[in-house]
Amino acid sequence: MNIKLELEALQPSMVAMRRDFHSHPELGFQEFRTSKILGDHLEQLGFEVERNVGITGIIGYLRGGKPGKTVMIRADIDALPIFETTGASYASSTPGVMHACGHDGHATIAAHVATVFAKNRNELSGTFKFVFQPAEEVVGGASAMLEQKTDLMDDVDAVVGLHLWNDKPVGWVGVRAGAVMAAADSFTITIKGKGGHAASPHQAIDPVVVAAHLITALQTLVSRETNPTNTAVVTIASLKAGEGASNIIPESAELRGTLRTFESELRSRLTDRIKEMTVTLSSAFGATGSIDWVDGPPPVVNDSSLTSLFEQVARDVNGSVSTADQTMGGEDVAEFLARKPGVFFFVGSNDAATGRDKAHHHPGFDFDDERALPLAAELLAKTALEFSKI
């Protein structure tokens, strides 16, 4: 079995599959075409396949010829609500929907690792469980699969997944032991005051003023209440009040925001404090504050000994491996990594020479699929093989 050579031979097939997915992007929980192609692909390879897990998720099992551990290989498959501007020949054929994060690449990479593993089945140790997850961008795809299939992680010994990373060029590979991406919770605050004439504020309870105080007060949760050596973000990203009239005090104001943290203790304390401030500060002004809290995924935490194993594989495959920066972005691969040890790594994918170096979620996003896909697939395949022998 020569993983590198076999994947190199599959490079044209990888580029073709990725570009086909790219031109047929589907939003979270609507990845019916993508999911069917992946399910059919795995079935043709002789995998045992479960379809429609978490609406459009796919699970494929391949049992190797020798005993070993069960390794879960996770790839996400959804696109984003963006109008593509790349002008590529394989650009989105669905206006307003675009693979602008590289999940078309992730699905392709895992599918071709499956191809190589199936071909070499008898030589493999253990079981490989390929999980194609829907709806990463809207956060909820991993949870939907776990809710429908509550024993999804029971037989898994180790998890591996990756993200193509357009901030870095092809040839850069990064990983970080411990927390690498943040827990990403979101909330909607409603402040109910009392509407009235803008010229008679004494007869009203102005929710706009309360919202202004609350937004300012919430800033102190990070600046004054969080240990400066810890990391957290509280952002109010949306504020809505009134209908545009300058002479009406509105009845209510609505704030939407997000809390990002790495540590669970800090996460729960700041969650409590945001809720508490909403209620008490509103009531101090005679208004009523309520909050609708949505728990997002936990932080993405890489197992330290599996990260060391990955680093060995990466040095062997790529010659070098970097320590990835922590980011306050969220990723719901965290749901799987919170249940079983594993590694989520990053593979540089930009190519400035061909202009394929725009940021993730940019309407002009594209990446060097010719070079990044075979490299990422080799890393994923060899890491999964190492993990099957732990």
Binding residues (CB under 5 A) for Zn ion: these are 101
Residue type, 40: D
Choose between 144 and 287: whose C-beta lies nearer to Zn ion: 144
Q: How far apart are CA 115 and CA 42, in angstroms?
A: 8
Q: How far is the CB of 308 from Zn ion (least distance, A)?
A: 25
Q: How far is the CB of 204 from Zn ion (least distance, A)?
A: 43
Which residues are paired to 80 by β-bridges?
A: 98
Choose between 167 and 251: whose C-beta lies nearer to Zn ion: 167
Query: With the C-alpha atoms ordered 197, 203, 205, 209, is the resulting torsion angle positive or negative?
Result: positive
Q: How far is the CB of 241 from Zn ion (least distance, A)?
A: 30
Of 84, 136, 157, 206, which residue is the catalytic one? Answer: 136
Q: Are 337 and 300 in contact (CB under 8 A)?
A: yes
Q: How far is the CB of 137 from Zn ion (least distance, A)?
A: 5
Residue 8 in tokens: 């190199």
The number of CA neighbours under 13 Å toward the Cβ of 113 is: 35
Q: How far apart are CA 40 and CA 322, in angstroms?
A: 36
Q: How far apart are CA 29 and CA 280, in angstroms?
A: 38
Choose between 164 and 306: whose C-beta lies nearer to Zn ion: 164
Closest of 160, 126, 142 to residue 307, by C-alpha: 160
Q: How far is the CB of 132 from Zn ion (least distance, A)?
A: 14
Q: How far is the CB of 164 from Zn ion (least distance, A)?
A: 8
Residue 277 in tokens: 């401030």
Q: How far is the CB of 106 from Zn ion (least distance, A)?
A: 8
Choose between 65 and 329: whose C-beta lies nearer to Zn ion: 329
Choose between 375 and 385: whose C-beta lies nearer to Zn ion: 375
Helix (H, G, I), strand (E, B) or coil at 231: coil
Query: With the C-alpha atoms ordered 206, 258, 96, 35, is the resulting torsion angle positive or negative?
Result: negative
Size of the chain, expressed as the number of residues it contains: 390
Choose between 101 and 384: whose C-beta lies nearer to Zn ion: 101
Q: Are 54 and 148 in contact (CB under 8 A)?
A: yes
Helix (H, G, I), strand (E, B) or coil at 64: coil
Residue 198 in tokens: 């803008």
Q: Within a 10 A sphere around the Cβ of 320, how many other Cβ atoms? A: 10
Q: By Cβ distance, which residue is nearest to Zn ion? A: 101
Of 6, 78, 331, 332, which residue is the catalytic one? Answer: 78
Instruction: Let me know if 263 is a catalytic residue.
Output: no
Q: How far is the CB of 353 from Zn ion (least distance, A)?
A: 24
Q: How far apart are CA 40 and CA 345, in angstroms?
A: 27
Q: Are 379 and 155 in contact (CB under 8 A)?
A: no
Choose between 50 and 137: whose C-beta lies nearer to Zn ion: 137
In 206-339, beta strands by DSSP E: 232-241, 248-249, 252-261, 288-294, 300-302, 322-323
Choose between 181 and 218: whose C-beta lies nearer to Zn ion: 181
Instruction: Let me know if 243 is a catalytic residue.
Output: no
Q: How far apart are CA 283 and CA 126, in angstroms?
A: 59
Pairing of strands 66-76, 125-133: parallel
The residues annotated as belonging to the active site are 78, 136
